[in-house]
Homo-oligomer: A and B are copies of this chain.
């Protein structure tokens, strides 16, 4: 059965135990499909929402603006993610969620999700866990932005995208799609566009990766991880799924 929400199931299975009962419940969930052009918002800072969205294809990102207009990209969201799952309990969103690439999303009504979670408390734990993994990624990003060199930061971002996309089967050999512009990368890593460009050139010239036209190819995973000081533990893929 090839249904739109399958990628969500893959994602959930990658971070926890997904019982057949839960799969069935999720497949019963009503959703509305929406297409987004690049740059178009799915949720705006300050808005109060009563639905969340699951990424079906494409790539979304969250960003937050300072009062003076500067923006920080907080995270990227490949298919399978529910970037605004926290809106279930924090209905006023405090970031902008936008399409980084032309994307297709599915809108899930809070009411439907609450009903589903009420009937399946174990699924509540899995969704909660998903928001916690989200949070764990922020910890690592914060550490990288605060402490790592520009080169390490940039390398780390590519490492993370590689591992996360692999978890949902979106890696083709050693290459994957990542259409973020250099301005996006700069906003994500807290550096200027010019510096992002030069940092990328550094990574390319040392033969760690290729990146052009929105396609990344990892050329030396080993050295890339070393440079990035990358340890995928923080993504909590298939580690303790203990539960009670």
Query: Which residues of chain B come closer than 8 Å to A121, judged between CB atoms?
Result: 118, 121, 124
Complex CA distance for A110 and B74, rounded to whole angstroms: 30
Q: Scoring A residues 172 to 202 as 1 if CB is less than 8 Å from chain B, else 0, what string do you get?
A: 0000000000000000011000000000000
Across the interface, do B229 and A66 meet the contact criterion of CB distance under 8 Å?
yes
Check A170 for interface membership: any CB of B closer than 8 A.
no
Across the interface, do B136 and A94 meet the contact criterion of CB distance under 8 Å?
yes
Residues facing B in A99-145 (CB within 8 A) are: 110-111, 114-115, 118, 121, 124-125, 128-129, 131-136, 138-143, 145
Complex CA distance for A184 and B128, rounded to whole angstroms: 31
- Who on chain B is nearest to A186 by CB? B146
Complex CA distance for A147 and B242, rounded to whole angstroms: 38
* Interface 9-residue window, one of A22-30, A35-43, A83-91: A83-91
Across the interface, do A90 and B190 meet the contact criterion of CB distance under 8 Å?
no
Check A67 for interface membership: any CB of B closer than 8 A.
yes
* Interface 9-residue window, one of A1-9, A158-166, A212-220, A233-241: A233-241
Across the interface, do A233 and B141 meet the contact criterion of CB distance under 8 Å?
no
Query: Which residues of chain B come closer than 8 Å to A46, judged between CB atoms?
Result: 233
13 CB-based A-B contacts, threshold 8 Å: A62-B139, A66-B143, A68-B229, A74-B139, A91-B242, A92-B236, A92-B240, A110-B244, A114-B243, A114-B244, A131-B135, A138-B142, A145-B190
Interface residues of A (CB under 8 A from B): 46, 48, 62, 64, 66-68, 70-72, 74, 86, 88-92, 94-95, 110-111, 114-115, 118, 121, 124-125, 128-129, 131-136, 138-143, 145-148, 189-190, 229, 231, 233-234, 236, 239-240, 242-244
